[in-house]
Amino acid sequence: MKHTVFVAMSGGVDSSLAAALLLQQGYDVIGITMRVWAGDEGDELYAASRCCSERAAHDAGQVAAHLSIKHHVVNYLEPFRELVIEDFVSRYLAGETPNPCIRCNTYVKFGKLLDESVALGADSLASGHYARLRRDDATGRFLLLKGLDRDKDQSYALYGLTQHQLSRLIFPLGDRRKQDTRRMAQELSLGVAHKEDSQEICFIPDGDYGAFLRREAPDMMQSGPILDLDGNEIGHHQGLALYTVGQRKGLGIAAGQPLYVVRLDPERNAVIVGPDPAVWGSRCLVKQVNWIAFDQPPQELHAQVKIRYLHRAQDATIQVTSHDAAQVRFDQPQRAITPGQAAVFYDGDTVLGGGTITV
């Protein structure tokens, strides 16, 4: 019996080439596409979305037909709204800046979709993510590593995966570079070889978070005070969810020096601002920690820590305070350590684990 691999096909070049490569390697390949984002006919936002929409499903189906493989489309509109969109809105309203792609990877793409693929007969689920997997012979644990293409590495967004999930996954592009992906896709005559990459969150394709939050939670977007570090009211904001730590633009405050968002205070519905030095910090607490490299982590370890997707990992000491919480102390101060974002721990290329930054 051939090893059956379902490929999470998004309609883009990466997942399309992943399917083609696995087919070349002799796997029994079946495509599967999630529909998690829909809009009315003629909706410009819907048309702009290049990921997980009806258009994406169509493009994935075209590639599957070209490769002569079966293709399934699964409707995850409701679970995606419940698990990702509602969480995104509630956390913004609570003064955090969440990363919905991480939550989608953990609970939808490699949660529900993996389970459904296995139920349909898959031995493994593959995707076009730029990350690598390896099994540690000494411990038997599955390890997650950075992708070879550092500019496209997506390991940061995969830190939440469990050992069960990692044991069933395949990332065929982890040791390839994006430029090679496009070249190979063109050589294989894949119709999506030159399709643009998705840059924004799939359900906010125009990047206007404020407009999206106003539509989703109009009654929750309440104005409030902008306070300086001494508690003096120096302005008003139009909704806490419209601001994030480190932000300068859009404050509408005339001051003798540049002011930045230092923190958000949901209890007072206040935006706290200050000069640039106030935005820097050396510590953060991390909750909901998922450990990949350890069953039981050491009480203290030294690692490199990324605090957002485009952040360059920095040396830090991690103090483990419970099975799912830790305190991070950076060797050097970092700018805009933001509640709601992920702190991901690395040892070189290996993802040790990670969690959500809290105050």
User: Which CB contacts under 8 angstroms, 24+ apart, belong to 133-141?
Assistant: 133/166, 133/169, 133/170, 133/171, 133/174, 136/293, 139/295, 141/292, 141/293, 141/294, 141/295
Structural domain includes residue 254:
yes
Q: Is residue 305 within 8 Å of 343, Cβ to Cβ?
A: yes
Looking from the CA of 236 toward its CB, the CA atoms found within 13 Å total: 5
Contacting residues for 160 by C-beta, under 8 A, at least 6 apart: 102, 103, 105, 106, 290, 354
SS (H, E, C) 76-108: CHHHHHHHHHHHHHHHHHCCCCCCHHHHHHHHH
The sign of the dihedral angle between the CA atoms of 3, 154, 346, 85 is: negative
Residue 10 and residue 126 share a domain: yes
Q: Specify the number of domains making up the chain.
A: 3
Structural domain includes residue 201:
no
- Computed over every residue of the chain, the mean pLDDT equals 92
| pLDDT recorded at residue 56 | 85
Distance CA 337, CA 308 (A): 9
| pLDDT recorded at residue 39 | 57
Residues 195-236: tens digit of each pLDDT: 888 767 888 888 888 889 888 888 778 899 999 999 999 999
| pLDDT recorded at residue 86 | 94
- For the chain, give the number of residues: 359
Place of tokens 């989703």: 216
Structural domain includes residue 196:
no
Catalytic residues: 104, 202
| pLDDT recorded at residue 192 | 92
Structural domain includes residue 32:
yes
Final residue belonging to a domain, choices 248, 274, 300 = 274
| pLDDT recorded at residue 306 | 98
Q: Show the tokens assigned to 240.
A: 């806490």
* CATH number of residue 51's parent domain: 3.40.50.620
Residue 11 and residue 50 share a domain: yes
Structural domain includes residue 333:
yes
Residue 115 and residue 242 share a domain: no
Residue 116 and residue 31 share a domain: yes
The burial of 232, by beta-carbon neighbours within 10 Å (0-12 exposed, 13-18 middle, 19 or more buried), is given as: exposed
Residue 259 and residue 226 share a domain: yes
Residues 8-63: tens digit of each pLDDT: 999 999 999 999 999 999 999 999 999 987 654 445 545 445 566 778 889 999 99
The sign of the dihedral angle between the CA atoms of 215, 216, 219, 221 is: negative
Structural domain includes residue 175:
yes
Q: Show the tokens assigned to 197.
A: 């990459």
* CATH number of residue 344's parent domain: 2.40.30.10
Nearest to 161 by CA among 200, 122, 127: 127
Residue 234 and residue 344 share a domain: no
| pLDDT recorded at residue 42 | 45
Residue 291 and residue 263 share a domain: no
Q: Return the DSSP state at 155.
A: G
10-residue stretch averages of pLDDT, the chain, 359 residues long: 93 96 97 81 50 81 96 95 94 91 96 96 97 96 97 97 98 96 95 83 85 85 93 93 91 89 94 97 97 96 96 97 96 97 98 95
Distance CA 331, CA 30 (A): 47
CA–CA distances in Å: residue 278 to residues 99, 184, 238: 24, 48, 23
| pLDDT recorded at residue 41 | 45
Structural domain includes residue 12:
yes
The burial of 230, by beta-carbon neighbours within 10 Å (0-12 exposed, 13-18 middle, 19 or more buried), is given as: exposed
* CATH number of residue 268's parent domain: 2.30.30.280
Residue 37 and residue 78 share a domain: yes
Residue 354 and residue 292 share a domain: yes
Residue 300 and residue 255 share a domain: no
Residue 231 and residue 119 share a domain: no
Q: Is residue 168 within 8 Å of 124, Cβ to Cβ?
A: yes
* Structural domain of 262: 222-274
